[in-house]
């Protein structure tokens, strides 16, 4: 079987790590990097992440068999629009966005007839670091990648993208875009908002220096993700607004229950909440 030419648009942590994983697996014939920043692409080339690069997105995708769009959600629409004219017949386009319904709408508007070969995807992996220098080949090992094909998506395109992610070491699952967005709003998007919100809250205290100076391991663990890319997370929240707000309302109600129990000095109510949470967490980790 002929190895595919892979074009990765956005060679940061996510795109760069995929490129390195595919190189390690000897999956592709060539990996082409593309993006807006020449210095970033040059760095990716120097680090051996990509084989060559192209600043013109339309030219970058010419001759590519698989195009991976790994840019912030707010940039997806512009990228799809720019690459449409350069796509070869049968070229497969996929993405790494954290909110799928908005990406699917952007792709449908811009890809035209190529939309049948668009496979929406989301690797559930990452770190608080960003940029091509943070990329590493093992990022996707035994991590999940969720694909959310539409009823128009080519089955062969889904199979190809599945094979690509498996070559990178990931476990691939499929679900609807709506279900994905709801699940990720609770398990990823809300936790990031809580971490950002807690750090910002404490940062506004008069005793902020002392608060952070005496912060223990639990605080560092919980707030680690507050070091994530603010632009990326702004876009995620805005592009999955309804599901995120629904989860925030649920969490607000839970905090209100805890607040009222604490205000009333109701230790049994607090204990019951903590026990339910502990059991759920222990079952999940087990």
pTM (predicted TM-score): 0.88
Residues 149 and 192 in one domain: no
What percentage of the chain carries pLDDT values higher than 70?
100
* pLDDT single digits (tens) 180-223: 999 999 999 999 999 999 999 999 988 888 888 887 788 888 89
Residues 23 and 106 in one domain: yes
For residue 1, pLDDT over 70 is answered with: no
- The boundaries of the domain holding residue 187 are 179-285
Domains in the chain, number: 2
Angle at 105 between CA 100 and CA 106, to 5 degrees: 95
Residues 164 and 253 in one domain: no
Give the CA distances from residue 56 to residues 78, 105, 142, in Å, rounded to whole numbers and listed in that order.
13, 23, 34
Q: What is the 3-state secondary structure (H, E, C) of 12-34?
A: CHHHHHHHHHHHHCCCCCEEEEE
CB distance 222 to 198 below 8 Å: yes
Residues 269 and 158 in one domain: no
Residues 46 and 140 in one domain: yes
Residues 164 and 74 in one domain: yes
Distance, CA of 143 to CA of 141 (rounded, Å): 5
CA-closest candidate to residue 103, choices 128, 71, 135: 71
Instruction: Report the first-to-last Cα separation within the chain, whole angstroms.
Output: 41
Residues 171 and 184 in one domain: no
Which domain-ending residue is among 157, 175, 193? 175
Residues 89 and 104 in one domain: yes
Which domain-ending residue is among 175, 201, 218? 175
* pLDDT single digits (tens) 28-85: 999 999 998 999 999 999 999 999 999 999 999 999 999 999 999 999 999 999 999 9
For residue 174, pLDDT over 80 is answered with: yes
The larger pLDDT score, comparing residue 213 to residue 261, is at: 261
Residues 124 and 76 in one domain: yes
Confidence band for 128, pLDDT divided at 50, 70 and 90: confident
CATH number where 18 lies: 3.40.50.720
CATH number where 205 lies: 1.10.3660.10
Which domain-ending residue is among 175, 201, 228? 175
What does the block give as tokens for 50?
Answer: 């990509």
Residues 171 and 246 in one domain: no
Residues 217 and 145 in one domain: no
Does residue 151 sit in helix, strand or coil?
A: coil
Residues 142 and 219 in one domain: no
């Amino acid at each position: 079987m002929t190895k595919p030419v892979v074009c990765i648009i956005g060679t940061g942590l996510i795109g760069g790590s995929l490129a390195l994983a595919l190189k390690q697996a000897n999956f592709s014939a060539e990996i082409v990097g593309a993006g807006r920043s020449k210095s970033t692409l040059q760095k990716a080339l120097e680090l051996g992440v990509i084989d060559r690069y192209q600043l013109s997105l339309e030219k970058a995708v010419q001759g590519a068999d698989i195009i991976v769009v790994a840019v912030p959600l707010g940039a997806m629409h512009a990228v799809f629009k720019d690459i449409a004219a350069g796509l070869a017949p049968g070229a497969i386009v996929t993405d790494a966005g954290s909110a799928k319904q908005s990406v699917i709408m952007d792709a449908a508007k811009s890809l035209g007839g190529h939309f049948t070969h668009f496979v929406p995807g989301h690797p559930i992996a990452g770190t608080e670091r960003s940029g091509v220098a943070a990329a590493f080949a093992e990022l996707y090992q035994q991590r999940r990648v969720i694909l959310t094909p539409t009823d128009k998506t080519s089955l062969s395109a889904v199979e190809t993208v599945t094979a690509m992610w498996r070559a990178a070491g990931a476990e691939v699952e499929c679900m609807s875009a709506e279900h994905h967005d709801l699940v990720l709003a609770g398990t990823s998007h809300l936790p990031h908002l809580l971490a950002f919100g807690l750090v910002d809250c404490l940062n506004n205290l008069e005793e902020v220096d002392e608060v952070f100076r005496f912060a223990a391991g639990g605080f560092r663990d919980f707030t680690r993700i507050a070091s994530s890319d603010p632009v990326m997370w702004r876009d995620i929240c805005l592009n999955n607004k309804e599901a995120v707000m629904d989860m925030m309302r649920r969490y607000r109600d839970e905090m209100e229950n805890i607040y009222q129990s604490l205000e009333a000095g109701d230790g049994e109510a607090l204990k019951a909440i903590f026990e339910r949470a502990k059991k759920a967490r222990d079952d999940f980790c087990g």
